[in-house]
Structure 1
Amino acid sequence: MIERLRRYLARFRSPPVPIDESLWKHALQRVPLARSLPAAKQVQLRELVTVFLHRKRFHAIAGAALDDFWRLAIAMQACLTVLTQGAKALDGWTNIIVYPGEFNVRRSHHDARSGVVHESDDTLIGEAWERGPMILSLSDVALDLEAPWDGYNVIVHEMAHKLDMRSGPANGVPLLPPTIKRREWIDSMQRGFDRLSREVARGRRTQIDPYAAEAPEEYFAVTSELHFSQPTLLAQEQPDVARLLAAYYGPSPTT
């Protein structure tokens, strides 16, 4: 155990390994969200990705075929979410678990009134634990590369949760830069969440994925996906939210 800890600490004291140039160029061609960035932002992204790959540990399980390209592709999309905040926003967690596809998670819920513990199984494509791992379905990561502008991105979604959890349990209010007023964020996000929740409750078809109405933290994660992959729709549906997310993440790669 002590030797393992020494190796772990040594890993962070050693300098990051530069990204192979040919691999980087190949990944830029394969990852549309990164390819669409201005050249200066691509340089910044590469610096963050180098840090990300140095700090994070990838774990391929259940037969997931995880090679250097897929690790780089995951890191690139994760780091898009911290371009305005820098590497410090990556602190607080280390591991990325990658399944080949959807995975099952067993949930336990304790009913305080009855004292009964209810258990259920959820089928997921991604999950983020507070100070724990980020978990991804590799097949859905691949799908996002094939359809980058459809409003969905599992890595962005889970990274939004990770950023949200930097200040404690996810609640849709991440640590904000001084340029964004906390009260303005809370009020605008709450209005957007309430509006969507009413529409979903009335059975109306919504342009924003109704999953966003599950909880404020899911609203933040889903609208974050839209910021990166369908910002025009977000601006049409929730202009105040779109403006705040652009201030938080920086301009969308599509604009």
Structure 2
Amino acid sequence: MAGAWWRRWLSRFDPPQIPDSLWRRTLTSCPLARRLDDDRQHELRRLATQFLARKRFHPLAGAELDERLRLLIAMQACLPALRQGAVGLRGWREILVYPGEFKVRRSHHDEHSGVVSEADDVLIGEAWERGPLILSLADVQLDLEQPWDGYNVVVHEMAHKFDMLDGAPDGVPPLPEEISRRDWIVAFQRAYDHLSNDVARGRETLIDPYAAEGADEFFAVTSELHWSQPGVLKRADPVVAALLDAYYGPSPAPC
């Protein structure tokens, strides 16, 4: 019901179209989008048009954004929404862009001693529940230059955004009817436990060890692999790879 309401609300608006020349010029710089078939490119352009009209970019700390860079970010942010549509982009509005890595102050509570300490985390991306998407422009550009290396900061943070659509991130985003929630939870929990065990024992893993930080990070990291190294993901865990293929649609990455 909520999704139907959102689609009706969106239909009231007619955002300005992306000029053909800008779209074609930018498409050549985004290999993930360039390798899509015509139908999915058309849908990506529709979603990117809505994204640019409804999200607000804020360059910070000297970052410089032109219309091409905004569109490149929008393209990569909308790629994971190709299957679910604009309903997956709801619930937030702001995009903060730093020129490179940025610091976030964290508080840590030690359960044993009761001591609360603070420290700075150095990040390249972050997503807040119902808050901004935060990106390092240098890493966005690196992902465009090296699209098949298994990493994509925009896809990673958008996976967190999808995960947050139904509350705190837990690695289980709202799923379409054709994907069993039980099957998803069982498969992802098994794969996450297996990875965590390998990382704890110091074993080399096909999936980035950062995915063992939590179920939410496992979903985000495997989402990156789906879009940039699906062959690696399939070798690491074919069941998780098949579920992500059903959730996102086929990856445009070379096998």
TM class, shorter-length:
over 0.9
Counterpart for residue 19 of structure 1? 18
Q: Find the counterpart in structure 2 of residue 165 from structure 1.
A: 164
Equivalent residue, structure 1, for 2:245: 246
State the distance in 2 between where 1:90 and 1:17 align.
18
Tell me the percent identity: 64
Cα distance in 2 for residues equivalent to 1:40 and 1:111: 52
- Cross-structure match for 1:219: 218
Counterpart code for 1:86: G
- Partner residue of 1:43? 42
**Matches of residues 104-253 of structure 1 in structure 2 within 5 Å?**
104-253=103-252
Q: Under a length normalisation based on structure 2, what TM-score does the superposition of the two structures give?
A: 0.93
CA distance in 1, matches of 2:66, 2:207: 34
C-alpha distance in 2 between matches for 1:26 and 1:253: 19
User: Mind listing any 5+ residue stretches in structure 2 that lack a counterpart?
Assistant: 1-10
Letter in 1 for 2:72: A
Closer/same/farther in 2, CA of residues 14 and 176 from structure 1, 3 Å limit:
closer
Structure 1 residue 115 displacement after superposition: 3.1
Rounded Cα–Cα distance in structure 1 between residues aligned with 2:61 and 2:112 = 38
Shift of 1:111: 3.2
Q: Distance in 2 between matches of 1:146 and 1:192?
A: 30
> Aligned residue for 2:84?
85
Q: Cα distance, 1:64 vs. partner?
A: 0.4
Post-superposition Cα deviations, 1:71-111, rounded to whole Å, max 9, x if no partner, equal 00000011000101010111100000000000001101233
**SS of match in other structure, 1:40:** helix
Give the letter aligned to residue 244 of structure 1: L
Q: Deviations over 1:24-50 (max 9, x none)?
A: 001110000000000111001100100
Aligned Cα root-mean-square deviation (Å): 1.2
Q: Letter of the 1:157 partner, please give it.
A: H
- Taking the aligned partners of 2:204 and 2:234, their CA distance within structure 1 comes to 18
1:116-152 deviation per Cα after TM superposition (whole angstroms, max 9, x unaligned): 2111110000000000000000000000000000000
Alpha-carbon distance in 2 for matches of 1:20, 1:31:
17
Cα distance in 1 for residues equivalent to 2:243 and 2:53: 31
Q: Which SS does the other structure have where 1:130 is aligned?
A: coil
- Secondary structure of the residue aligned to 2:114 is coil
1:14 deviates by 5.5
> How far off its partner does 1:209 sit?
0.5
Deviation of 1:167 (Å): 0.6
CA distance in 2, matches of 1:14, 1:131: 22
Q: How big is the shift at 1:114?
A: 3.3
Question: Match of 2:234, as an amino acid?
Answer: A
Q: How many residues are treated as equivalent by the alignment?
A: 244
2:105 is paired with a residue whose SS is: strand
**TM-score for the superposition, normalised by structure 1:** 0.93
| Mapped partners of 1:62, 1:151: distance in 2 | 28
- Corresponding residue for residue 6 of structure 1: none
Q: Which amino acid aligns with 1:42?
A: Q
The alpha carbon displacement at 1:207 in A equals 1.4
Report SS of the residue matched to 2:81: coil
AA of the residue aligned to 2:230: P
Alpha-carbon distance in 2 for matches of 1:169, 1:198: 24
